[in-house]
Amino acid sequence: MSNENELNPNNIGKKLFSGADYYKFYLDEKKLNRDLEQELAFHRVELEKFKGEAVKAYMLSKVRRQDSVMMSAQAQKILEDMQAINRDLRQKVVELDKAKKNLREAYKGTINRLVVASEYKDNETGNHILRIANYSVFIAKLYGFTQDKLEQIELAAPMHDVGKIGIKDCIMLKNGKLTEFEFNEMKRHTTIGADILKNPDTPVLESAQLIALCHHEKWNGRGYPNGISGTDIPIEARIVAICDTFDALTSWRPYKEPYPIEVSCGIIKKGRGEDFDPDLVDLFLANIDGFVAIKNKVDEDAADEAAIKANFKWSERDMVEQML
């Protein structure tokens, strides 16, 4: 398989990194995250210190203004000091915002490196990351997530398949139905991903680990790896399960061409209360236009829907599932 990748014209001039290389990138980015968090904590302390000084200065000026004649010079000095403090506060706020932005960008960098490592052979990796992130935020917002939770799932959702870095190429790139052995091997990407993301030290990575482990669990308890069901499945994983299914159905894969939106929605509707959270399926179907708009925005060169319908045929894998 590696020789075929090297001879592939698309790989000419492209440096192929090992999973270990990308995991090292992940650890380097994680260290950068910790450094930025320490800088952010320092600025928070400084901000609180300046707030306290401002309050003291204000209270002092309020008392001193009672005798404006005798204390006019000192009041003027206090006013000048307060103005200086306010300038410092505004600067600290700017620095805090910059540190927070740097921290967020560092998270994104870590995530992108990790996801690209796990799906390096997929030419659509970049668009896949964007679609899954945007789909997940869209339905999570409809579900009622807070802003903090929306930011977490935006960063965590693209890491759902990071465990595929541990699955053999011959299984990942097979264009036909998987054997029972191959399918069991493929299922291991959930536990591999959870292991890669173990001991999370931030809410984003904690969410990412839950999603990686549980996004193939089913509402009826017949999923994997642990066979949990219903609301025992973390809500983030339930959301990503629908988004990932929709993306897989409507996108090119080694074993299939894109399916029409109508067919894809029918498959998800069929899984309501079986594969997927019924409330989330209802939200998805009621707001399908929003999902299509996201897809069209990300996939600027996507095939026309009419052409997809005209050329539609079931893949060997999905044909078997539809007959069950």
Residue 152 to residue 317: CA distance in whole angstroms: 33
Q: What are the structural domain ranges in the chain?
A: 13-118, 122-324
Burial class of residue 10 in the structure, from the number of CB atoms within 10 Å of its CB (0-12 exposed, 13-18 middle, 19+ buried): exposed
For the stretch 64-119, pLDDT in tens is 655 555 556 666 777 787 888 878 878 888 887 787 777 777 767 767 666 766 66
> What 3-state DSSP class applies to 170?
helix
Determine the pLDDT at residue 18. 65
Averaged confidence pLDDT in the chain: 80
Determine the pLDDT at residue 311. 60
> What 3-state DSSP class applies to 2?
helix
Out of 95-104, 197-206, 241-250, 281-290, which region has the weakest mean confidence (pLDDT)? 95-104
Q: What is the architecture of the domain spanning 122-324?
A: Orthogonal Bundle (1.10)
For the stretch 8-37, pLDDT in tens is 555 444 455 566 666 677 777 777 777 777
More confident: 172 or 324? 172
Residue 194 to residue 162: CA distance in whole angstroms: 9
- As a whole-number percent, the residues of the chain with pLDDT over 70 amount to 72
In this prediction, residue 202 has a pLDDT band, given cuts at 50, 70 and 90, of: confident
Determine the pLDDT at residue 2. 46
